[in-house]
Amino acid sequence: MKIDHVALFCSDLEGMKDFFMHFFAAKTNELYHNPHTGLQTYILSFPDGDTRLEIMHRPDVESLIGDEYCHMGYIHLSLSVGSKEQVDFLTLSLKEAGYQVLSGPRTTGDGYYESCIVGPEKNLIEITI
């Protein structure tokens, strides 16, 4: 068994799509729009061919804001980029583009080499080997 994809509601659908395409080389399908519910979605596919992320927007879905980086439920998306050099490069590129780096790049206590950034709409993204 494997997870087919993860879905994420967002306020700025086009901005989120552009973020993942620019920094993580995602490819996208055509915009899906359900005129009855207002739902709009893209399925983003990443270079490994197996990883997919569905980003969604629906006008009647409101943000639930709690503690920014520590709450129950899904907390971050982790993307493997293949090498320490790519983790370093991507972290620096995101920092230079104005995204907040919360940690790293560093080797964690359990042996992962990673960084963690705050992406669009305050979504946490871990960048790992």
Domains and CATH numbers, the chain: 1-60 (3.10.180.10), 74-129 (3.10.180.10)
* Residue 113 backbone phi and psi in degrees, to 5: -100, 120
Rounded average pLDDT over 101-128: 94
pLDDT of residue 110: 86
pTM: 0.86
Tell me the per-residue pLDDT of 32-67, one tens digit each, with 9 for 90 and over.
Answer: 999 998 999 999 999 988 999 999 999 888 765 555
Distance CA 20, CA 84 (A): 20
pLDDT at residue 117, as a whole number: 97
pLDDT of 68 > 70? The answer is no
The mean predicted confidence, pLDDT, of the chain is 90
Q: Note the residue count of the chain.
A: 129
The answer to whether the CB of 107 falls within 8 A of the CB of 61 is no
| Sole residue written with tokens 């520590």 | 70
